Structure 1
Amino acid sequence: MRKIDLLRHAVERLSLAGIEDASSEARLLLCWACECTPLELMHLTEIEAAPVDRFSTALERRCAREPMAFITGEQGFWTLDVSVSPETLIPRGDSESLIEALLAHKPERESVRSILDIGTGTGCLLLAALSEYPQAWGLGVDIAPQAAQLAQHNARRNHLAERAAFIAGCWAEAVKGPFDVVLSNPPYIEHEVMAQLMPEVRQYEPHRALDGGDDGLIAYRALCKSLPHLLAEDGCAILELGIGQAEAVTLLAEAEGLKRVACRKDLGGIERALVLTFS
């Protein structure tokens, strides 16, 4: 089938489904179906039957607003590629702010030996941190066994399995410190806002990793109570924040004897990565 006809049809379908950048997404889907790069796609004029079938199935899924990452099965994060599944949040560029904040707070690459990632999901935060600190080992904890298994797969995929372990457990209750670094991207969306999320998020991503309760702060209360027992004396915790949550989470941390030393903004200018240490 002619490539131009496939793309024209796909753009029409995606636009009707409410996909904003329909042209770009159509090309990305076709690249995935053909297992080629965008440059290679430019030189194709006809698409064989098998890739056409694969593309058609993927197009139906995307028109139903299933996230692109769940269709392709992977997502880029930091310098890594990680596998994803509906058991985990899809890694987002905003979360890379936590790695940037960590590198700014602990620039000496030999200074970090142990890292804990609470609510690890795909393992992207822990694995990105381990890729930057070659002497460190890390532990990721997630309440969902399927997430822990996927994170372990991602460690193997990125050649970090010898320095990373993942377990299923209830937040910080499953482990004891001390750790040089604690990372966490907890659920922080207010419960009443959940119904307003984009269909890709609301219908496909796990609500347990999104819903932060009535005020969005339930997970932070538990985290801040646990952090003093998890952090090494000169350690740091870096927590991902939702929009406008920096002050509230800082107060929760200070009530547990922690000190805010930095809060890094994401590319959208939102305070996203809160860095905490002992007072």
Structure 2
Amino acid sequence: MSGAGTAAAALRAAVPRLAAAGVEDAPRDARRLLAHAMGIAPDRLTLHLSDRLTTEQQEAFEVALAARAARQPVSQITGQREFWGREFRVTRDTLDPRPETECLVAAALEEPFSRVLDLGTGTGCILLTCLAERPSATGLGCDVSEAALAVARENAAALGLADRAEFRLSDWWKEVEGRFDLILSNPPYIAEAEMADLAPEVRDWEPRGALTPGGDGLDAYRAIAAQARAHLEYGGRIMVEIGPTQGREVARLFADAGLENVEIRPDLDGRDRFVMGRNP
């Protein structure tokens, strides 16, 4: 990285370095980090590969590469992740929004809603996407992390949704009042025994409390199911993201709580991805 060189030369040197660190898609990540260091959109990088990097750009790229070689997620390094076509700020205090969670949003948008609750909101990506797609709706996002709520509020302001989205510090239902016609959640669901097998990007860099509740991974669903009907309008819907082996257990929790039309839905890869139910 020493000396003034072109972006193309920096990219060529970066790819094997990331690959040697075990990064799965080293060419893609190197391009994204180089674009970030140069202050341009990733899809514009090809047009700038012949540019000579400034000292500041070289230094920024070096810092980004070192972080990625340590397996820090790209989204944390750049501070951004795209979700449903919008950019969301991401930090170490929030779960990194994932493409499969868009399946939950797609299902939420299948029917009208006016008041939505997002339990464990993190970046706010689920709640804010739903509000952005339904301009007449309002919503509440809850989280036990004040740092995560600060990120969610920042995202709401950036998307022009601060007037329709409220964020509140709450341990699941503790500070939630009233009823909603749509309740959504992507809670921590990884079993304690599964944590060691996670990719370093997840295990070592994302907030542990957003990944696992400990034990069998089902505690969040037990808490959510226990009071869902008390906070759902009649006919209101609830949807939660799940791990691919948890569909049957979570569906049973929903049914035992008195929810009807309980259904397990898959993601685009055909794996069980979320469970939904309706208040009679």
Interval containing the TM-score (normalised by the shorter chain): over 0.9
Match of 2:106 in 1: 100
Query: Is this contact kept in 2: 1:177–1:232, CA < 8 A?
Result: no
TM alignment of 1:96-135, pairs within 5 A? 96-104=102-110, 106=111, 111-135=112-136
For this pair of structures, how many residues does the alignment match? 274
- Deviation of 1:272 (Å): 1.0
1:59 pairs with 2:60 = no
1:261 positional shift: 4.0
Separation in 2, partners of 1:260, 1:177: 23
Q: Is the 8 A contact 1:17 1:63 kept in 2?
A: yes
**Kept in 1: contact 2:181–2:235 (CA 8 A):** yes
In the TM superposition, what whole-angstrom CA distance separates every residue of 1:88-142 from its partner, at most 9, and x where no partner exists? 10000111111111122x1xxxx31100000000000000111121111000000
1:148-202 C-alpha deviation (Å, 9 max, x unpaired): 1110110001111110010111111111221010000011001011111100011
What is the TM-score normalised by the length of structure 2?
0.95
Q: How far apart are the structure 2 equivalents of 1:112 and 1:43? A: 44
Match of 1:178 in 2: 179
The answer to whether the 8 A contact 1:176-1:229 is kept is no
Q: How far apart are the structure 2 equivalents of 1:127 and 1:6?
A: 37
Q: State the AA in 1 paired with 2:78.
A: T
Per-residue Cα deviation, 1:48-106 (whole angstroms, up to 9, x for no partner) = 211111001100000000000000001111132110111110000111111111122x1
Corresponding position: 1:16 with 2:17: no
Amino acid at match of 1:100: A
Partner of 1:256: 257
CA distance in 2, matches of 1:50, 1:82: 25
Structure 2 equivalent of residue 69 of structure 1: 75
User: Does 2:193 match 1:192?
Assistant: yes
Query: Whose helix proportion is higher, 1 or 2?
Result: 1
Task: Please identify, of 210-219 and 182-191, the stretch whose mean Cα deviation from structure 2 is larger.
Answer: 210-219
Q: Percent identity?
A: 41
1:14-61 Cα distance to aligned partner (Å, 9 max, x none): 010001211111111111110113453223312221111100110000
The CA distance in 2 between the partners of 1:183 and 1:41, in whole Å, is 37
Equivalence for 1:138: 139
DSSP-derived class of the 1:183 partner: strand
CA separation in 2, counterparts of 1:229 and 1:245?
A: 24
The corresponding residue for 1:155 is 156
The two structures, once aligned, show a CA RMSD in angstroms of 1.2
Q: 2:6 is matched with which residue?
A: 2
Deviation at 1:263, TM superposition (A): 2.9
Long gaps (5+) in structure 1: none
Q: In structure 2, the residue corresponding to 1:172 is in which secondary structure? A: coil
Q: Which residue of 1 aligns with 2:46?
A: 42
Aligned equivalent of 1:83: 89
- Structure 2 Cα separation of the partners of residues 268 and 212 of structure 1: 25
8 Å contact kept, 1:119–1:140:
yes
2:33 is the counterpart of 1:29? yes
Unaligned 5+ residue runs, structure 2?
A: none
- Match of 1:56, as an amino acid? E
Give the alignment's TM-score, normalised by structure 1.
0.95
- Decide whether the 8 Å contact of 2:233 with 2:279 is kept in 1: no
